[in-house]
């Protein structure tokens, strides 16, 4: 595979939805009716005493097809619309699909006294190993959106050439590979709406955890937390073993290891994503890796890519991922 950065002309925004903010907000606000077969639910232990909920959708023969493990973004879940859309398209393409909830997500706040964060690539690795051991899957790929994109790329880079033999490919949409730059971009005046939303959700989650585990979590730490960087400095870092936001962003970023990815990889990014930033040094690593196809569109917003429906639902990014994975 030839490493490439492509300025794509193939993505055409839906009429009336040109621009990063319009695309991003429309994807969040437009309802989708997605009907899926009932999943097989699994609570998978990712470390002693910590479990995550996975929604598994199997073909009649679960061992032969490609299994895709899909990971959501910050404050998402297995019920996020893009997770359901990815599942529908993957199943239609003959793949197994496992929708993975990160820790505390999908209604699992009471499962363990821990928080989730952008560095927990080992949780994804544990889910993949579980599927290999318990379901005897013959091949799998990882797919992630935003924060989930950072997680799957980070794991692929950490594995390098030493990953499971069943690991075939990885794909990420608008991955938050450069965590510090993307966190700070959220605080730009034009992006404050997104930051307010994330902080509101994260504050609610911490209060919920404090009710469930009052001896572990202190809501008093939320005082003065009005930005994502402050939340990560006072909450994420404190409860997850980092010395502060700087240490967390530095150690958890997939940018550190993206040059080591040794399987076919597809990274889809929109140049007008309101807050995901890919730094020049990270771009150099991506373009120098012959295993990575980097597709950057002029429009698309954050994990949106709403195209004009043409015999489908117009969710262009999901279709691009499925087409990429068909080869594996």
pLDDT at 312: 81
* Spatial CA neighbour of 325 closest among 18, 147, 92, 16: 92
Who's near 91: CB < 8 A, 6+ residues apart?
A: 36, 37, 57, 59, 97
How far, in Å, CA of 10 to CA of 272, rounded? 16
Task: Indicate the pTM of the whole model.
Answer: 0.95
Cα gap 188→170, rounded to integer Å: 31
Nearest to 266 by CA among 171, 160, 175: 171
DSSP string of 39-62, one letter each residue: PEEEEEEEETTEEEEEEEE--SSS
Check residue 5 and give its pLDDT: 46
pLDDT band at 9 (very low <50, low <70, confident <90, very high): very low
Helix (H) or strand (E) holding 268: strand 265-270
What's the pLDDT tens digit per position in 121-158?
999 999 999 999 999 999 999 999 999 999 999 999 99
* Residue 306 pLDDT: 96
pLDDT digits (tens, 9 = 90+) for 30-70: 989 999 999 999 999 999 999 999 999 999 999 999 999 99
**Burial of 68 per CB tally in 10 Å (0-12, 13-18, 19+):** buried
Average pLDDT over every residue of 22-28: 95
């Amino acid at each position: 595979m030839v490493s490439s950065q492509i300025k794509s002309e193939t993505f055409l925004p839906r009429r009336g939805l040109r621009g990063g903010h319009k695309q991003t907000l429309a994807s969040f606000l437009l309802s989708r009716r997605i009907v899926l077969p009932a999943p097989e639910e699994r609570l998978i232990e990712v470390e002693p005493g910590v479990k995550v909920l996975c929604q598994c959708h199997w073909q009649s023969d679960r061992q032969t097809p490609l299994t895709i493990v899909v990971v959501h973004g910050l404050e998402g879940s297995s019920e996020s619309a893009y997770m359901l859309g990815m599942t529908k398209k993957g199943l239609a393409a003959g793949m197994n699909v496992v929708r993975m909830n990160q820790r505390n997500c999908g209604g699992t706040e009471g499962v363990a006294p821990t928080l989730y964060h952008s560095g927990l690539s080992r949780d994804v690795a544990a889910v993949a190993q579980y599927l290999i051991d318990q379901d005897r899957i013959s091949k799998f790929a990882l797919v992630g959106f935003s924060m989930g994109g950072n997680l799957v790329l980070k794991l692929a880079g950490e594995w390098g050439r030493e990953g499971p033999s069943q690991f075939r490919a990885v794909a990420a949409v608008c991955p938050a590979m450069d965590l510090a730059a993307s966190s700070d971009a959220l605080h730009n005046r034009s992006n404050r709406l997104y930051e307010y939303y994330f902080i509101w959700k994260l504050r609610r989650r911490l209060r919920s955890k404090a009710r469930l585990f009052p001896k572990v979590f202190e809501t008093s730490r939320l005082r003065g937390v009005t930005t994502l960087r402050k939340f990560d400095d006072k909450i994420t870092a404190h409860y997850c073993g980092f010395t502060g936001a700087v240490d967390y962003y530095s150690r958890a970023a997939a940018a550190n290891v993206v040059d080591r990815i040794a399987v076919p990889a597809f990274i889809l990014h929109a140049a007008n994503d309101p807050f995901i930033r890919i730094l020049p040094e990270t771009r150099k690593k991506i373009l120098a890796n012959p295993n990575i196809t980097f597709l950057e569109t002029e429009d698309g917003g954050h994990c949106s890519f709403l195209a004009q429906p043409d015999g489908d639902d117009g969710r262009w990014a999901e279709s691009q991922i499925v087409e990429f994975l068909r080869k594996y």
